[in-house]
Amino acid sequence: MSDAMSTDAVNDPMHEVLRRWQAAFDSHQADVMADLFTPDALFQGFGPETLSGRDAVRGYYEAVPDYRRAHLGEVHGYRIGEHVAGGFADVTFRDPTGWEAPVHLSLVLQHEGGGWRIRQYHVSRIVADH
Residue-level pLDDT at 11:
62
Instruction: Report the pLDDT value the prediction gives residue 130, as an integer from 0 to 100.
Output: 59
How does pLDDT run along the chain (130 residues), one tens digit per residue? 333 333 344 468 999 999 999 999 999 999 999 999 999 999 999 988 999 999 999 999 999 999 999 999 999 999 999 999 999 999 999 999 999 999 999 999 999 888 999 999 999 998 876 5
Contact 116, 110 (CB under 8 A): yes
Give the residue among 91, 112, 111, 109 at the shortest CA–CA distance from 100: 91
In our burial notation (b when 16+ CB lie closer than 10 A, e otherwise), range 81-119 reads eeeebbbbbebebeeeeeeebebebbbbbbbeeeebbbb
CB atoms within 10 A of CB 65: 10
Q: Please choose, from the candidates 42, 69, 64, the residue with its C-alpha nearest in 3D space to the C-alpha of residue 54.
A: 42
Short-list 4, 29, 26, CA closest to 15: 4
CA count, 13 A, side-chain hemisphere, 35: 8
pTM for this prediction: 0.87
